[in-house]
Structure formats: structure tokens, C-alpha cells
Amino acid sequence: MTLAPSESAPMPEPLPAPKPAPMPIALLMLCHEPPEALAPVWQWPWLSDPAVRLYVHYDAARSEPEFARLRASVPQGLPVTFLTDRVRGHWGGYGLVEATQRLMACALADPAFQPAYLQLLSGSCMPMRPLAALREFLTRRCGMEFIQSVDVSVEPWVRSGLEAERFRFWHPFDFKRQRPLFEAAVWLQRKLKVWREPPEGLRPRLGSQWFCITRETAAAVLQGLARPDWRRYFERCWIPDEMAIQTLVAQACPSAFIAGHNLTYLEFDEHGQPLVLENGHGDHLRRQPFFFARKIAPEAAALRAELIERQRPHRPDAPGEAPGTRLDPELDLGWFEQAGRPTGHYQRFLARAQLQPQARSHLGTSTDTWRGLMLHAHRPYVVLIGSAPGHVRAVAAAARARLPGWPLFDHVFAPGALDPVADGLPLHGLQPTLRARRDLDPAAFLHELVHLDDAQPTAFALDPAVESWARGFIVWDRQALVIDLDPPGLSPAQRGSAALRGMGSTHRYEPPRQMIAALAARHWMPTEFFAEALREGKLLCTVQPLSATPPEPLATALAPLLQALRDGAAAVDAWAWYPPEAAARAWLDGDESALPPLPHERQGSAR
Amino acid sequence: MIPSALHPVRVHGAAIAGARFLLVCCLRNEAPRLAAFLAHYRALGVDHFLVIDNVSTDGGPERVLAEPDCSLWRAPGSYRAAAFGMDWCHRLLDAHGRGKWCLTVDLDEFLVHPHAGERGLPGLTRHMDKIGQPALFTVLLDCYGPGRLSDTPLADGADPRQVCPCFDRFNFTQRLGKHRDHLWVQGGVRQRRFFADAPDEAPALNKLPLVRWERGLRYVSSTHFLNRPGHNLFLSGHPEAVSGVLLHYKFVAGLIDKSAEEVQRREHYAGAAEYRSYAMRGDVVLHDPQVSLRYDGPAQLERLGFMQRGTWF
């Protein structure tokens, strides 16, 4: 092309570099889907590019009428070539290599089209980036072979199952239809220490079936497959589609030209099962530095439509272009080394589903009759304990006044009645009518209690002197922060008298004999249930006074709640609920008038 | 009359044989619900509906016959004598469902699963096949309207999801069945509003509506559990398993009249004790601003812990 010098321009402009012809790319497709399922392929924007051709091998397992229907479904003018000489591909057999070989031969034999690269696809694969991005990528790395080719004597490649046995043993039986015979043959050959040697000059390599290789290498591979001895060797290996071409590419190219990965995103879980791509996986695919996506579910029409949109050439000036449609040409190649292994995103998802209780459903996942729904609970919560229930309630009320609307409750596990809040307000839907179901399934009730509010943690009072499921469970719950509100330095008599007087007010029943006996024997009292568990080390929950700082996961989660409790406790005169030592002793000995009245009694007399 | 007798009215044998996903349901005077029900399950991926008509008089069977993907049987016998319809369902499941994923639901039950809306039964069952999960555990979540029962009429063809958008976000109990072979879930609005004093008598909410049917499989006590502990308790031992929710649209204006009728008919479980309880309460408001939430899609149900996606990515 020449540029006529413009007369008006005094200085001749430098000639623009001639625009190179776009790199021709051949897409080879192995497919066996029903003709209707392949209809979306004909809508790929890639196929409207003048330098792209699609060669299709339709599995011979599909009938001639189906093949005719498939050919008829292709719109006029698309660069699609069908191989009429079809073979049947069994999983694990040589048919897939044969079909690939014919596709390669067909693409190379086309005199009008000299592809620079040949990319192998299946009927469930799809390009997921603009063709220009792939061209840019291949131009920058021209001459590289994008294929996995692993020498398994040096590093393992197969995640689970046979590896070197694939080519060291003989495999006369079909894996899927003659499974017991297949297994028996492998077992026997292992016993007999069978060791098939490859033909002279061949060094077996394994790798994923999908590849993108240069025309020159493809021609060398075809030459290799044309050698009768090599071909016979591959025919008698197991899963040769993951071996024959991989071996021959390594034979034909210096290893520096083998990238060691392909351009197709495919992913396996920990059981070696492929991840099937479904609707909703678009954002995940966007993050993957590949050009093709593999294993798209037949019914995932929305995902196909999304990927078709992403194939369209992007304009850099287009506003609001979705990020990630353009692949960074200088992308770190280390990304690709992960090909075929779980990506971080998927791996984290799997780990979370397996390990984290947050991922589990509340209902249906626990058959533990004691822990019940609390088996998978994961929210930290505060339990307020103290010898004088009145004092605990006063602190809870003071904190509630500082944090209106937060789930802060009184003695919700008190036997007999359910009074979630002293003033009778229904807080977070917790009502006295729930008593029957609390007693039916206290674990479900506690679960509900600690998950009441999405954002704010729960606190509730618990009388440590009362034996209940909740008291027994909380001792063993790591998520529980038990706060002892008793002032420091209380004597057993002070604790005991405060507890005994408070009991009537919390839960209307007789003071337990156990407690009186404990007092008489100077043994630890039921009010000291948690303190005793702490002394003996028989607990998993955290027990501490309000002033102490809890251990880390709890401290952050509960910080505002603890601050409100501290402020509330400072505003309440604790000593109003605890009698002096002498008065406590006298009261326990039977002098009913020895104790000063409690705060609420004083208020009552004033009214 | 043999209670389990079934008379084919119109059966599309070839379509049933070629279907991947079947749905079995019993129909009794529920014609207004049919349109939304069929639309929901078609969108989910059901290929063919096997409908059993138990002497409907409201034109429901005629509407079923007008649908191309429905086969119809007539069951003239007693619902109660046929184990509350399960004998009929079992006959169809045994005859047509072996080796297939089969849904057995009522007309007021709408299945929701993780990723619902963008994926359906093909993806769901692919994941279940992959991890060896034989049945889908679901919680029956009672839905209701914001006002009185009489203010939530379900018009002919109306989508119950529009009429009854609310559900209880908590108030559930769970225990292991007597023989430790299934889980027994109760709660929701039915326990809160109708069984507050006797929560253990509230109806069961655990269901297994989707199962790969096989020889010898039997539902026990409606579709609440199956005669295989491995099917019933799969979710508890397998964090990778997926579970779902059956949105239940029973609480509409028609329930008041229906309860009176069912108490007379005594064709339901335990002498229709459940319906007696509804009839006793009459025209109630089920909504409680502190307990009720508006349904906002499957992601909300997952967040609230009603179902899990397991390792279904």
C-alpha cells in the first residue's frame, strides 16, 4: 500500500506500518451432543471473523439422520466444516485421538486457510473472551505450544487413580462396560510386575486432552501418529487422548516452547469430578485467565448468552464496559499453572461448605439429641450470672436502656415461666407464649436466642443455681462469654443469702435443699456453678468478671455490648443486693428481720 | 370399593417414559391453584405431571386434561383409607418413577432450592448424583398474608407467592424420631399461632419431596420421611449435601370454609385434628411484625439457615 504525498502538507508524515493480516485460528470441535444442543455454537461471534474456521467431528454414535439435522442447522455462510468420515469415541479408548487426528489433518489440508494455531474444543466448551484478546495473547507468545505435557516419572499428574499404569500395562478391557475385568487385569499385571516399554525414541507424557498448538507442531504430531509402531503403542494405552498428542508434542518441540498448560478453564473438585458450569457462574469465569470455558451444562442458556456477549469485540472507549472482559496481555503466567486444579475461589468455597458452621442449614443437619440445633451455632453471646438475681436484672435493664432494641434479656431459662424482659415489652418477638416450646426443645430456643438479630449479639441472664439444660450446655459452648456480676470478695454467707432471697423473685419456687446443705457443709454452692467449673477446668466457655477483657474472637464481636454492660453495672449499686456479713449470717440462722430490704422492696414501701 | 384403586383417564405413556423429572400430586377441589402450580414446576424443569384426582367437583380434572404435559388418573376411593393419598402416589411412582428423580408434592407446596431462579432440577439433581445424595431434605415453611385470613383470598389462577409473602423467621424445634431414623421438625406460624400451648402436637415440617425413586422405597406419614434412614438423615452427616424449602401456601381465605368441611369429612390425619384447630381459631391474623419476614428469594432462606447449598458451587 502506498500513500500519495499530500500537496497541502509541507512535511511528509511517516508511513503508518502496514496492518498485519489477522492471525488465522482453526477451532477443532469434538462433539456428541444432540443436534439441538449444539445450536448455540452457530451464534458465537467468533465465527463471524474472516480468519477463524470451525472443524466439527460429530461422534459416530450419533445416527446419520441426526448428523444431517446438525449440518442443516448451520446458517449459510458460517466457516464450519464437518468431517464426514466419523469415528466412534469410547471414553478411555483410541477413538477420541483418531477423531482429533482427522480434525487436525482436515484443518492443515485446507489450502485456502493456513491456521497459525489449532485449538481443540468439545461441544460443551465455549470461548469466553473476544477473539482479539486471544490473538493478542498468541501473537505475544508466538511459537509457544499451549498443552499440558507432564513426565509422570518426574512429577505426578493424575489426582486419583492409575497414572503410569496407563501406559505400562496392557488394557484389553473397557473401563466402563467391563469394569471387573479391567480391575482384574490391572491387579494381575501389578502382581506379575508387567512393564511395557514404549517404542524406541518415545517418552510418554500425560496431560489434559485440550490444547492449542501451532500448525508446525500439529503437522509433526500427524507424522508421528502416522508411524504404525507408535500408533499401535498408543492404541493399547488407557485414555490415550490424555497421552498421545501430549507425548508427540514433547517429542517435536524443545521443552522451552511448551507452556505446560492449555487455554481452557476446567476445574475438578477434591473427588476428581469436573465442575459443571451453570447459570450464575459468569462472575467466577470472568476472574479466570483463560480463553475457553469447559463443561457448560446443557441447560445453562443464560450462561451461554452471557459468554456470547463477552466474545463480542470490546471498544476501549465504550462507557460502562464490564471489567475483566479484556485479558491483561502481561498476565502472570503463574495463574495458568493452576490449570485443572481448583482455583482459590472454588477451593475456599468447598472448604467453607465442609468446615464452617455458617454454611450449614439450621434445620435437618443435627442428630445430636443434647446439643440439638446448637451443634452448628456460630454466634458469640453473653450470659450474665450473679448470686443476686435482682442485681443481674438491674444491670441488664441498665444496659438495655443504653442499647435500645438490642436483644438483652432477663432470666429466659427460669423454670415455670418465660419473662424475656421485666417490663413485659415484646422484644424481638420473644413472648411468654413461647414457654412451651422452650421447654420442648431448649436447644432450638437457645439457638434462636443467639441468632435473633443479624447484627447485634444477644445477652441474657441465667441463674447459675438452677439446674437446666441451658446451664449444662453453656459450660461447654466456646461461643458463650459468661460474665459474673458478683462484687469481688463476697463471703459464702453473703452469696447464699442473696441467692436464696432472689430465687422467689425470679422463679417462684422453693429454695433448693441442695443449696442449704451446701451452705451448711461449707461446700461450694450452686450459685458458684461456673466458678467451680472454672476451678476444675471442666469448661469450654469463658467465665470472667465484667472488668476483664475476653479472649479475642469474643472481644471484638461483643465489644459494644460489653461496654453498655459495664456502663450499666457502674450505674447500679451492687451492694444494695448483698447484705453485710453479720446480717447474712443472722438471716441464714433464722432471723427473718436481720436483712435490710432489697431495692425494689424499698421502692414499694415508699409508694 | 378398593381404596387404592386408580383409573387412568389419560396417560401419555411415551412422554412419561422419556421424561427425566416427574411430579406426582393429588388433586381435590384445588382448580384455582393449578395454573401457578404447573407454571412453577415447569420452570423448575419438571417434564411430566402425574395427577391423581380424588373426586374433584370444581372442574380441576378438566383443566388438567387441557394441559399437554399432564397425565390424569381418577381415584374414587377414600383419601384416608389410601394412607392419605400415599398409596396412590406409591403406585404411580413404582410404575413410572423407577430410576428417575421424582417430586411428590401437594398443590399448595412450592419447592425452592439454593440457586433457584437461575438453575433448576437438572443442576440440582446433577449435584445430588455427584455426591450420592438420594433425597432432598426440605423444611415446610408456612407462608401467609399480612392481614386477616379472610383478607388473603386466592383468586383463580393467582400466584400464591403474591398473596402470601410472609413467613416466620424463627420458632422451630427439631428432634430425632423415636427410632432415630428421621428428624422431626415442627414450628413456624402454625406452632406459634395454633399450637403454642402444645408445641409437640404441631404438624411436622420435615419433608422429602424430591427423591430418586427405586424399588421398595416407601413414604411414611405423608412425604415426611422415607423407609430408609440413609435417605432421611443424609443431610446431617454430609456438609456437602444440598437442602431446600417447601413454601407452603395453605393460609388463604378459603381455609376457613375448608377447615369446617374437612372436620366434617374426617379424611385427614388424626381425625383432622389440625383442621379442627384452624376452625376453632377462625379468622386470625398470622402476621407478627417482630417474627414475620417477607420472602425475598432463595438467598434469603439460605442466609436465615432454612437451607444450604453444600458444595453445589
Query: Does residue A85 register a pLDDT over 60?
Result: yes
Residues B95-133 as b or e (16 or more Cβ within 10 Å = b):
ebbeebbbbbbbbbbbbbbbbbeebbbbbbbebbebbeb
Q: Nearest to residue A308, comparing CAs of A122, A50, A131, A53?
A: A131
Residues A135-147 as b or e (16 or more Cβ within 10 Å = b):
bebbeeeeebbbb
Query: Does residue A605 register a pLDDT over 50?
Result: no
CA distance B266 to A116: 78
pLDDT at A2 (0 to 100):
40
- Nearest neighbour of B174 by CB, restricted to A353, A444, A452: A444
Q: Are strands B206-212 and B101-104 parallel, antiparallel or unpaired?
A: antiparallel
CA distance B279 to B247: 22
CATH architecture of the domain with residue range A25-154+203-315+326-338: Alpha-Beta Complex (3.90)
Task: Tell me which chain A residues have a C-beta less than 8 angstroms from the C-beta of B118.
Answer: 278-280, 302
CA distance A372 to A366: 6
B contact residues 182-211, partner A, Cβ 8 Å cutoff? 183, 185, 187, 191-192, 196-200, 206
Q: A453 vs A329, A457, A459, B166, B291, CA distance in Å?
A: 47, 7, 11, 18, 11
Q: Do B199 and A349 touch (CB under 8 A)?
A: no
User: Residue A214: beta bridge partners?
Assistant: A117
Q: What is the pLDDT of residues A227-286, one digit of tens each?
A: 999 999 999 899 999 999 999 999 999 999 998 888 999 888 777 788 999 999 999 888
Q: Nearest to residue A420, comparing CAs of A444, A385, A440, A445?
A: A445
Query: Does residue A323 register a pLDDT over 50?
Result: no
pLDDT at A121 (0 to 100):
96
Q: Do A275 and B119 touch (CB under 8 A)?
A: no
Query: Does residue A67 register a pLDDT over 90?
Result: yes
Q: Do B123 and A297 touch (CB under 8 A)?
A: yes
Q: What is the pLDDT of residues B107-152, one digit of tens each?
A: 999 999 999 999 999 999 999 999 999 999 999 999 999 999 999 9
Q: What is the pLDDT of residues A113-136, one digit of tens each?
A: 899 999 999 999 999 989 988 998
Q: What is the pLDDT of residues B68-110, one digit of tens each?
A: 999 999 999 899 888 899 999 999 999 999 999 999 999 999 9
Report how many Cβ contacts below 8 Å link chain A to chain B.
Answer: 133
Burial class of residue A217, CB neighbours in 10 A (0-12, 13-18, 19+): buried
CB atoms within 10 A of CB A103: 24
Q: Which three cell numbers stand for residue A321?
A: 464496559
Contact between A218 and A252 (Cβ < 8 Å): no
Query: Does residue A157 register a pLDDT over 90?
Result: no
Q: Where are the beta strands (DSSP E) in A462-591?
A: 480-484, 542-545
User: Domain coordinates of chain A in residue numbers?
Assistant: 25-154+203-315+326-338, 377-602
* Minimum CA–CA partner of B177 in chain A: A367
Q: A45 vs A40, A49, A265, A305, A307, CA distance in Å?
A: 11, 8, 19, 11, 10
pLDDT at A516 (0 to 100):
66
A contact residues 446-465, partner B, Cβ 8 Å cutoff? 448, 451-452
- Nearest neighbour of A433 by CB, restricted to B123, B180, B196: B196
Q: What is the pLDDT of residues A290-302, one digit of tens each?
A: 899 999 999 999 9
For the ranges A309-323, A587-601, B83-97, which has the lowest average pLDDT?
A: A309-323
Which of A361, A362, A425 to mutate against chain B (most B CBs within 10 Å)?
Answer: A361
Q: What is the pLDDT of residues B253-268, one digit of tens each?
A: 988 888 888 888 888 8
CA distance B55 to B78: 9
The residue whose grid cell reads 469415541 is A89
Q: Do B309 and A353 touch (CB under 8 A)?
A: yes
Q: What would the mean pLDDT of B217-245 be, rounded to a whole number?
A: 94
Per DSSP, the three-state class of B137 is strand
Query: Does residue B42 register a pLDDT over 50?
Result: yes
A434: contact with B, CB 8 A cutoff: yes
Q: Do B235 and A369 touch (CB under 8 A)?
A: no
Query: Does residue A384 register a pLDDT over 80?
Result: yes
Q: What is the pLDDT of residues A385-422, one digit of tens each?
A: 998 888 999 999 999 999 988 999 988 898 877 777 76
CB atoms within 10 A of CB A552: 8
Task: Tell me which chain B residues have a C-beta less than 8 angstroms from the C-beta of A362.
Answer: 172, 304-306
A37: contact with B, CB 8 A cutoff: no
Query: Does residue A95 register a pLDDT over 50?
Result: yes
Q: What would the mean pLDDT of A579-601 be, rounded to a whole number?
A: 78
pLDDT at A250 (0 to 100):
94
Q: A374 vs A10, A445, A451, A601, B258, CA distance in Å?
A: 86, 9, 11, 39, 38
Higher pLDDT residue, A429 or B35?
Answer: B35
CA distance B110 to B162: 13
